[in-house]
Chain A
Amino acid sequence: MRDFDYARAGSRSDATARAGAGAQIIAGGTNLLDLMKLEVMAPEAVVDITRLDLHEISVVEGGGLRIGALVTNSDLAAHDVVRRDYALLSRALLSGATGQLRNKATTGGNLLQRTRCFYFYDTAMPCNKRDPGSGCHARDGFNRILAVLGTSDHCIATHPSDMAVALMALGASVEIEDAAGDVRQMPLNDFYRLPGDTPHIETVLEQGDLITAVLLPKPVAGRQIYRKVRDRSSYAFALVSVAAVVRMEDGKIASAALAFGGLAPKPWRNAKVESALTGKVPSDDLFGQAADILLADAVGFGANDFKIPLARRTLRAVLRQATEATQ
């Protein structure tokens, strides 16, 4: 690990002032320290935000939930309101990592965890994300775990978070405080950027920005499902995952919110898939049409070709389960 200066932020403004160029915020540290040990990341300064007052989960007026950026993945998954009204989020969190890691991993850090692309982790290899302009060997290499949607010539990495996929389906927003003390909010969908020709820039965050909270809207009615397909049934990242909130009315799909993990550089949501389902009577044909829309632009790179039919089957299975008459 490279040497760095350590500072413990005493306040939010202290944190944003310190988190300038060359500095990196540390929360749970479960992703940052992993990458720093390998020198994939080598910040000159590390700003510890863990003593800031961002550990609360609170119900906001008019419904909805405010989740402090430092709430751990364990506490979020076990929270009564989350278990009752946002079960999808508990399920996604519990499907990720391990008990030990979830006790450390935070809401803000989970959103910002980096890709698990093997080349990104291997400093002996070129990688446009780690070392802009150096190239990408994943396109023609070991890309089994990488993306089939939203990729570019420069990068085909996936975003590995389960939590973020659930938050995307639940319509979450991110609250950010900048170095001037201004606070802004934006939908999670606008928070992540696609790689284009700058795969090292993954979100809209600027130097000094601090995530302060994640906001969930009022719980929506409907059945909530998180289905994660992976190489082992425990303790593995998703190859494909589907988060769904589906509400039925008079035998028809009244509303559907769907987000996908393992397929793209960001948790993926496509409004066209959802509108194709809305107002329709569920059937395998309909689910197939929804999958056609989702995967119309999907491109595999060899070893990850299987993700395209796997995504189709997983979506169909989730929609079947979500629209079943029982319950």
Chain B
Amino acid sequence: MTLKTTLKINGKDRTLDADPRTSLLDALRNHLDLKGTKKGCDHGQCGACTVIVNGRRINACLTLACMHDGDEVTTIEGLGTPEQMSALQDAFVRHDGFQCGYCTAGQICSATAMLDEAKAGWPSHVSASLGDDVSLTDEEISERMSGNLCRCSAYPGIVNAIRDVARGGAR
């Protein structure tokens, strides 16, 4: 059995005809040749596969492509290009937010959506109050990014990059 699925990826409709077992991650990498999104654990534990679906960050490895027919998917390729980087991409470069770079696409997709969550006033586990006034302290950034592991432990650079963008840092 194969299923036809159309995804709006980085603004363009892309169609694949694949076995229903195909995860969104495998669809992106193996069927649509978008290799920016990485596979780490394939079990929702590392965050390397993070993409943004209908505005929300999710683990592409733990969802089926066929369940997303018609959905809008943003991958790292849709956030910026080497010539025209997004603010977070630029900040990751400036702050050494990586070493090997394997987790980086997931970190940046995750952080992009995380900043929107904070803007919408979502609290986190470390927020003292459940009110709307989110201030992205380093502790808040770390907690909200806990779903993105970095085997090279570039965490200080990652937090610096995100803090910079959260505070509207210069490019």
A4 within 8 A of B: yes
Which of B23, B47, B67: most chain A Cβ within 10 A? Answer: B67
Binary flags per residue of A10-34, CB closer than 8 Å to B gives 1, else 0? 0000000000000000101110011
Q: What is the bound-complex CA distance between A29 and B64, given in angstroms?
A: 8
Q: What is the bound-complex CA distance between A4 and B142, given in angstroms?
A: 39
CB-CB under 8 A from B94, the residues of chain A are: none
User: Do the beta carbons of A90 and B130 come within 8 Å of each other?
Assistant: yes
Q: What is the bound-complex CA distance between A90 and B132, given in angstroms?
A: 13
Q: What is the bound-complex CA distance between A3 and B114, given in angstroms?
A: 35
* Given A29-B63, A34-B43, A4 contacting B130 (CB threshold 8 A): no
User: Do the beta carbons of B1 and A100 come within 8 Å of each other?
Assistant: no
User: Do the beta carbons of B125 and A100 come within 8 Å of each other?
Assistant: no
Binary flags per residue of A24-60, CB closer than 8 Å to B gives 1, else 0? 0010111001100100000000101010000000000
Closest beta carbon of chain A to B135's beta carbon, Å: 16
CB-CB under 8 A from A84, the residues of chain B are: 130
A99 within 8 A of B: yes
User: Do the beta carbons of A94 and B124 come within 8 Å of each other?
Assistant: yes
* Given A29-B63, A46-B20, A48-B67, A99 contacting B114 (CB threshold 8 A): yes
User: Do the beta carbons of A78 and B42 come within 8 Å of each other?
Assistant: no
A303 within 8 A of B: no
User: Do the beta carbons of A74 and B43 come within 8 Å of each other?
Assistant: no
B50 within 8 A of A: yes
Q: Which of B20, B47, B123 contacts A100 (CB 8 A)?
A: B47
User: Do the beta carbons of B130 and A87 come within 8 Å of each other?
Assistant: yes
A313 within 8 A of B: no
A6 within 8 A of B: yes
A314 within 8 A of B: no
B147 within 8 A of A: yes
B32 within 8 A of A: no
**Interface size class, chain B:** 35 or more
User: Do the beta carbons of B50 and A100 come within 8 Å of each other?
Assistant: yes
The interface stretch among B51-59, B73-81, B158-166 is B51-59
B120 within 8 A of A: yes
- Could you tell me which residues of chain B, from 100 to 116, have a CB within 8 Å of some CB in chain A? 110, 113-114
CB-CB under 8 A from B56, the residues of chain A are: 74, 103
Please name the residue on chain B nearest to A29 by beta carbon. Answer: B63
A293 within 8 A of B: no
User: Do the beta carbons of B44 and A103 come within 8 Å of each other?
Assistant: no
- Could you tell me which residues of chain B, from 10 to 61, have a CB within 8 Å of some CB in chain A? 19-21, 23, 42-44, 47, 50, 56-59
Q: How many residues belonging to A are interface residues under a CB distance threshold of 8 Å?
A: 35
- Could you tell me which residues of chain A, from 72 to 126, have a CB within 8 Å of some CB in chain B? 74, 77-78, 83-84, 87, 90-91, 94-95, 97-101, 103-104
CB-CB under 8 A from A6, the residues of chain B are: 1, 3, 20, 64, 66
CB-CB under 8 A from B57, the residues of chain A are: 99-100, 103
User: Do the beta carbons of B42 and A98 come within 8 Å of each other?
Assistant: no
Q: What is the bound-complex CA distance between A50 and B54, given in angstroms?
A: 14
CB-CB under 8 A from A28, the residues of chain B are: 63
CB-CB under 8 A from B127, the residues of chain A are: 94
User: Do the beta carbons of B120 and A78 come within 8 Å of each other?
Assistant: yes
Please name the residue on chain A nearest to B114 by beta carbon. Answer: A99
User: Do the beta carbons of B21 and A3 come within 8 Å of each other?
Assistant: yes
Q: What is the bound-complex CA distance between A1 and B50, given in angstroms?
A: 21
CB-CB under 8 A from A306, the residues of chain B are: none
User: Do the beta carbons of A104 and B59 come within 8 Å of each other?
Assistant: yes
A234 within 8 A of B: yes
CB-CB under 8 A from B142, the residues of chain A are: 234
16 contacts between A and B (CB under 8 A): A5-B20, A6-B3, A6-B64, A6-B66, A30-B44, A30-B59, A30-B62, A33-B64, A34-B43, A37-B42, A48-B66, A74-B122, A78-B123, A100-B110, A103-B57, A234-B146
Give 6 new A-B contacts, CB below 8 A, not counting A8-B67, A48-B66, A94-B124. A6-B1, A37-B43, A99-B144, A100-B50, A101-B62, A235-B146
Q: Which A-B residue pairs are the 10 nearest by beta carbons?
A: A98-B147, A6-B20, A83-B130, A235-B146, A234-B146, A103-B56, A94-B125, A78-B122, A100-B147, A100-B59
